[in-house]
Structure 1
Amino acid sequence: MLDLVELYTDRKPGNVLAKYLPALRRVDGTDSHDGLDPGFPGEWRRAARDSEFRRAQDHERDRVYFGPAVRQGKADGLLVLGQFAYCAAIVMHGDGNDPLSFRDIRKRALRTANPPAWGGDEVTYLDAFLDARVWAMKQEEAHSDTSRVDTAQRVFLRERNLDLDPPLHRKVYGDSHHIG
């Protein structure tokens, strides 16, 4: 959040969130809201109507999540489903060095199977990756519902739809979703 508000402020000085930068810097890396309540959520909603803020959000999404996931996925020889699985894991678990991060999940999977770039079978590797991801999710109460993996990513894997070719049908948290 701090990086996003700093980028937004670099691009648009004096924006509605700029005044919160000192507080964001103080609470960075903590659960504290000190200096942010009660006004920050409303100002965030106000900023969300600004196209420059949305561009900054897109930039940070690509820099922090999408770009690293796609790069690692391609380096591992994965098609679209694998890149999507990597991105979903990085979004939820982060790309750091902590024991439940994307990197740790990938390391756990590599103990069981090799990715295509290392001569392995993609379906076998992705199955191992999703097993490792489910394990990591169950370690954290906030992420213990694994249906997003079980009823979407794993369904596409069982169908061997590695390019995520439509039509796509999945059910997540009880809601059905259909694409093309």
Structure 2
Amino acid sequence: MQPKHRTVRVALAALLIAAPAALAAANVAAAAPAPAAVQVKAVGLDDPHKKDIAMQLVSSAENSSLDWKAQYKYIEDIKDGRGYTAGIIGFCSGTGDMLELVEHYTDLKPGNVLAKYLPALRKVNGTDSHSGLGSAFERDWATAAKDGVFQQAQNDERDRVYFNPAVGQAKSDGLRALGQFAYYDAIVMHGPGTSSDSFGGIRKAAMKKAKTPAQGGDEATYLKAFLEARKVVMKQEEAHADTSRVDTEQSVFLNAKNFDLNPPLKWKVYGDSYTINS
């Protein structure tokens, strides 16, 4: 019996004489690497396109518009006990984040049109007072909103205080884009912190009902527990008692198992219908 490798060489020689084109094709096919398994990694909310979707979703609830970039100039007192609410994320004169925003703006651009209100903002922090602010402040806010530096300052503070902490925590909890958005929307409304009515308190309450995916829990079950815990807190405050941003927005996406928050998205907030097609 001849060795196997000798048998193969003889066979290949015969093939080369009879059909060189076929042999060349066979050799190319044999040399080609096997196709690698394609793994599609889920895109997080910090992807630029997903982040833009998140901003549109928040704007639909905060400003009844998908045009979130038009909200740099937004300012009003919505009578929720937090003084002025303003800008792309609802910075409040009574909760400290508006003060931090104007401080950051002044660091970036000393002598800006809002810098003169820093003493007043420090004084009203923690209250709903307009003392030292008022209509002049509202006009100057609208003027500042045309300044790209002020827009960047708003973006910076949004990311530092709200977006990055929310998305980071959600990723640690094993949540995909929908869960990351649920955390972000909650921290925007309720603020960071560990009190029972803050984002941290809501998360803690949810974790008493269900395990996070990182703990081995089911993602849908945990998100449902989180949204229910948030609704409990929302109903404790008259200004936030309408829970449609949970019921007819986030719960709609959850029920559809759209964990990656992929368009098209259709939802309602406060009875108004919205769509993001791409």
Give the TM-score taking structure 1 as reference length.
0.98
1:26-52 deviation line (CA, Å, top 9, x unaligned)? 111221111112310110011001000
1:110-133 deviation line (CA, Å, top 9, x unaligned)? 011001000000000000000000
> Aligned to 1:170, what secondary structure does the other structure show?
strand
The corresponding residue for 1:86 is 183
Which amino acid letter does the alignment assign opposite residue 13 of structure 1?
P
Worse overlay, 78-87 or 25-34: 25-34
The alignment yields a C-alpha RMSD, in angstroms, of 0.8
The corresponding residue for 2:235 is 138
Q: Give the Cα separation in 1 of the matches to 2:268 and 2:144.
A: 32
**1:100 Cα deviation from its structure 2 partner:** 0.5
The corresponding residue for 2:130 is 33
Worse overlay, 25-34 or 119-128: 25-34
> Aligned to 1:128, what secondary structure does the other structure show?
helix
Q: 1:158 aligned to 232, 240, 255, which one?
A: 255
**1:25 Cα deviation from its structure 2 partner:** 1.1
Q: Give the Cα separation in 2 of the matches to 1:12 and 1:166.
A: 38
Q: 2:155 aligned to 42, 58, 65, which one?
A: 58
Q: Give the Cα separation in 2 of the matches to 1:38 and 1:122.
A: 47
The corresponding residue for 2:245 is 148
1:143-165 deviation line (CA, Å, top 9, x unaligned)? 00000100010000000000011
Worse overlay, 110-119 or 92-101: 92-101
1:35-72 deviation line (CA, Å, top 9, x unaligned)? 11231011001100100000000000001110010000
Q: Give the Cα separation in 1 of the matches to 2:162 and 2:256.
A: 26
Q: Give the Cα separation in 1 of the matches to 2:215 and 2:166.
A: 18
Q: Give the Cα separation in 1 of the matches to 2:261 and 2:135.
A: 42
Which amino acid letter does the alignment assign opposite residue 255 of structure 2?
R
Q: What is the aligned length?
A: 180
The corresponding residue for 2:173 is 76
Give the TM-score taking structure 2 as reference length.
0.64
Q: Give the Cα separation in 2 of the matches to 1:179 and 1:43.
A: 33
Larger Cα-atom Rg: 2
> Aligned to 2:135, what secondary structure does the other structure show?
coil
Q: Give the Cα separation in 1 of the matches to 2:137 and 2:195.
A: 29
The corresponding residue for 2:80 is none
**1:99 Cα deviation from its structure 2 partner:** 2.1
Q: Which runs of 5+ in 2 are unaligned?
A: 1-97
Q: Which runs of 5+ in 1 are unaligned?
A: none
Indicate yes or no: 2:180 matched with 1:96: no
> Aligned to 2:113, what secondary structure does the other structure show?
coil
Q: Give the Cα separation in 2 of the matches to 1:11 and 1:160.
A: 43
> Aligned to 2:116, what secondary structure does the other structure show?
helix
**1:97 Cα deviation from its structure 2 partner:** 2.6
**1:98 Cα deviation from its structure 2 partner:** 2.4
The corresponding residue for 2:118 is 21
**1:84 Cα deviation from its structure 2 partner:** 0.2
